[in-house]
Amino acid sequence: MPQRWETADRGGSLGIAAGPREPRRTLPAVAGALAVGLGLVVGLTGCAAKTAPGERLSIQPQVQVDIDGKAVPATDAASAADPAGNGQASCPPHTTIGYAGPLTGQDSALGINIVDAVRVALARHNSANPNCQVQLKQFDTEGKPQKASQVVPQIINDAAIVGLVGPTFSGETKATGQILSDAGLISMTASATNATLTQKGWKTFFRGLANDDVQGPSVAKYLRESGYKRVCVILDNTDYGAGLARSILAGLGDASRSDCVARIKKGDRDFSATVTRIAAIKPDAIFFAGYYAEAATLVQQLKSAGVTATFVSADGTNDPQFLRQGGNSTKNSVLSCPCGPAPERFAEEYRRLNHIDPGVYSVEGYDLATIVLKGIDAGRQSRPALVDFVRSYSGDGLARHYQWSPNGELAKTNIWIYDVSRSTDKAK
């Protein structure tokens, strides 16, 4: 399993020049067919939990679905915008993109996946454009709303920062969105999915993926079509967990009942009461709305209690850390995400620069950074000009087509379904 080589202070500034970081139900047949067709796409994760010698668990893409849970084709990465542009860009010295999100703490992997992808986009851009060397400044929020509220004023007061990728989580985005909007600084999130974020009247917030009101019904309908008749929902006490659970429950309809809903607290590690309750109900599947740290412990305790229901979760769990922390108990889990798999060329560049495989939200982080860079290269180098550029932007990325509605939501979105499966790994 590759190890991370730290190449920069995670909380500081980085200027990047030329590039040197019991069997469950069978999924619908169309899922397997589409997975075979993803010849240019690698799994969302490459570093995974070891099982038997020569085998490992990995998170693999199965099918992309629409709001009705129906399979739709994957995006053609060949049409994606290239951050290198034409190589003729010119911009003032010290032109900077900011990143705000967790770089430390129990959920830091999700933030690091994004900022490392921003680094890949910057490396391509700066290598091709000697007269426009865009810098990156990273701000660690630990994924906490209170910490984000302390960090964002520092970003706003740095005149060199013309655009921001982040914040990462819904809670910290909710706490800082109005501040960023009032300051006129564009905020492009690769990961905050709470649906209410675009309903607050912010003028500079743009979401780079589907929200929970898309993900919830899509996954719920997919589960129902896959034959699951009774699904229990467990949610944590975060903005993300509450929003996702609400939309999942609405989509499940009579496949879930009120006595099949349980709540846990983020940071807890003893879920015995919840496990005992769920085990007595004997559901076909369990959907967890929360993050990987709790998901890993929860799935272990469920398996230890003899619960055979399929464990299902979403983007907050869809990370290599879920496999590392949950071990063999994560096998056969189903994970959804509004994030796309990493095309091979991008994955190679990501590994070369960051010495680790891309993870959840990495492709979105790259795409959003690319759009900001295209705005800078087009001469939109002030904060207001960059906001206007993104507002009228329309173009393909690695993950999807990017074009925003006036409230900052993407005009069209889909959801990916992944599963945790064994694969032979002779190279490691």
Q: Which of 265, 21, 225 is nearest to 122 (CA)?
A: 21
Rg for the chain, CA atoms, rounded: 21
Ordered per-residue pLDDT tens for the chain, 428 residues: 232 222 233 333 333 333 333 333 333 333 333 333 333 334 444 344 544 444 689 999 999 999 889 999 888 888 999 999 999 999 999 999 999 999 999 889 989 999 999 999 999 999 999 999 999 999 999 999 999 999 999 999 999 999 999 999 999 999 999 999 999 999 999 999 999 999 999 999 999 999 989 999 999 999 999 999 999 999 999 989 999 999 999 999 999 988 899 999 999 999 999 999 999 999 999 999 999 999 999 999 999 999 999 999 998 999 888 999 999 999 999 999 999 899 999 999 999 999 999 988 999 999 999 999 999 999 999 999 999 999 999 999 999 999 999 999 999 999 999 999 986 544 33
- Asked if the bond preceding 167 is cis, omega within 30° of 0, the reply is yes
Q: Do residues 372 and 164 make contact, with C-beta atoms less than 8 angstroms apart?
A: no
CA-CA-CA-CA torsion sign (405, 166, 361, 336): negative
Burial of 200 from C-beta contacts in 10 A (0-12 / 13-18 / 19+) = middle
Q: Which residue type sits at 202?
A: W
Q: What pLDDT, on the 0 to 100 scale, is given for residue 49?
A: 52
Angle at Cα 334 formed by Cα 274 and Cα 301, nearest 5°?
30
The torsion defined by the Cα of 326, 327, 329 and 330, in degrees rounded to 10, comes to 70
Integer CA distances (angstroms), 297 to 14, 215, 216, 275, 404, in order: 35, 24, 23, 11, 37
Q: Where are the beta strands (DSSP E) in 51-170?
A: 55-65, 71-72, 96-101, 135-140, 161-165
Q: What span, in angstroms and rounded, lies between the C-alpha atoms of 190 and 138?
A: 15
Q: What span, in angstroms and rounded, lies between the C-alpha atoms of 358 and 363?
A: 8
Q: Which of 215, 252, 217 is nearest to 232 (CA)?
A: 252
**184 Rama class: left (phi>0) / alpha (psi -120 to 50) / beta:** left
DSSP 255: G
Supply 411's token pair: 């005009």
Q: Which of 11, 14, 60, 6 is nearest to 38 (CA)?
A: 60
Burial of 246 from C-beta contacts in 10 A (0-12 / 13-18 / 19+) = middle
Integer CA distances (angstroms), 171 to 160, 179, 191, 408, in order: 26, 14, 11, 17
What domains can be seen in the chain, in order of their start residue? Answer: 13-21+25-424 (3.40.50.2300)
Q: What pLDDT, on the 0 to 100 scale, is given for residue 76?
A: 85
DSSP 129: -
Q: What span, in angstroms and rounded, lies between the C-alpha atoms of 110 and 291?
A: 10
Q: 296 Cβ partners below 8 Å, 6+ apart?
A: 321, 322, 324, 325, 326, 329, 330
Q: Which of 47, 31, 36 is nearest to 428 (CA)?
A: 47
Supply 320's token pair: 């290599």
Q: What pLDDT, on the 0 to 100 scale, is given for residue 55?
A: 63
